[in-house]
Amino acid sequence: MRVLVAGAGGAIGRPLVRQLIERGHEVVATTRSPAKLEKLRASGAEAVVMDGLDAASVGEAVARAEPEVVVHQMTSLAGTNDLKHFDDTFAVTNELRTRGTEHLLAAADAVGVRRFIAQGYTGWPYARSGGPVKTEEDPFDPQAPAPAMQLSLDALIRQEELVRAAPLQGVVLRYGSFYGPGASEPLVELVRARKLPLVGDGAGVWSWIHVDDAAAATVAAIESDVTGVFNVCDDEPAAVARWLPYLAQVVQAPPPRRVPVWLARAVAGASVVAMMTQVRGASNAKAKSHLGWTPRWSSWRDGFRHALGPGVSRATSAARARADAASCREG
């Protein structure tokens, strides 16, 4: 198939392009930066410059590519980890999820694209009531876990509405929290510096996914003809109180500090408290049965050890982080 990947140079875009090429698909990879074209071409893709927030630029790129499938993997999260001011941190990403999706869908419609796959998010958007693990049948909470997250929740909901209403085969992949190459170095640095404490009882449940597994699920969605929303995460949703001390152990950091809720709320804000103590995890059963996909790293325990453990040296991950930063600066 001929597949246009918008946001091909990001944490998920890179393994996705690699896997698509390996499976014999033709890939048109987009970036905003002419300086990144060569690197994208080296991966075996055709590369084009496209600004996802500029309707004309999107229209031109999609019309020229004439893809059968469009994949929206554009976010703007590199170099930001301020969760206290969540909506500020996610402001451009929210635009990409709403306006960016509108531009891509309009361009896709104009050239008769058959399938459209968008990057969503699972986990904290689900209502924080009932059981700890949610399926796609469970509602998102209309009220975000904290006021500072409301615009980001609204953008995720709007993106799903846009894809559902579009006159093509639409899929939203609600990815769990990414880890793996290019996806978790800032998190690991926080844990090593003991700057990611265990808040309160640490009962917030997270669903993780290795970026290679997220890319594999995306390939499965591209190659299938199913539509709708799918949680794409591993088999083991886990409370922060379980995964955070384990992650510290894996990256050979001291155990995380413990911080009471009142102090975390004052210092880090209500978003962080909600994510550490209240949020729910997600079930991947629908993605497994409908996409015929199984995560290689079915548990974050094995995945963390493989992707972040002692075998992956600090030097390697620091070098990767420096290379990522350099490629961002070039951009």
Rounded Cα distance between 118 and 156, Å, is 10
Q: Assess contact for 3 and 68: CB atoms under 8 A.
A: yes
Q: How far is the CB of 260 from ligand NAP (least distance, A)?
A: 27
SS3 251: coil
Q: Name every residue whose Cβ is closer than 8 Å to that of residue 142 and which is 6 or more positions away in sequence.
A: none
Nearer to ligand NAP, 173 or 253 (CB): 173
When asked if residue 33 is in the footprint of ligand NAP (CB under 6 A), the reply is yes
Q: How far is the CB of 14 from ligand NAP (least distance, A)?
A: 8
Q: How far is the CB of 76 from ligand NAP (least distance, A)?
A: 4
When asked if residue 121 is in the footprint of ligand NAP (CB under 6 A), the reply is yes
Tally helices (H) and strands (E) across the chain. 14, 15
When asked if residue 75 is in the footprint of ligand NAP (CB under 6 A), the reply is yes
Give long-range contacts, CB 8 A cutoff, 24+ apart: 317-324: 317/185, 317/188, 318/185, 320/181, 320/182, 320/185, 321/185, 321/186, 321/189, 324/78, 324/182, 324/185
Cα–Cα distances (Å) from 127 to 132, 198, 261, in that order, read 10, 22, 20
Q: How far is the CB of 119 from ligand NAP (least distance, A)?
A: 7
Choose the binding region for ligand NAP from 20-28, 134-142, 182-190, 315-323 (rule: CB under 6 A): 182-190
Q: How far is the CB of 329 from ligand NAP (least distance, A)?
A: 11
The residue from 3, 4, 7, 286 that contacts ligand NAP (CB under 6 A) is 7
The residue from 21, 37, 55, 78 that contacts ligand NAP (CB under 6 A) is 78
Instruction: Give me the residues paired with residue 27 across strands.
Output: 3
Nearer to ligand NAP, 141 or 324 (CB): 324
Rounded Cα distance between 69 and 80, Å, is 30
Rounded Cα distance between 219 and 75, Å, is 19
Q: How far is the CB of 263 from ligand NAP (least distance, A)?
A: 26
Size of site (CB under 6 A) for ligand NAP:
28
Which residues form the interface with ligand NAP (CB under 6 A)? 7-11, 13, 31-33, 36, 50-53, 74-78, 96, 121, 175, 177-178, 182-183, 186, 331
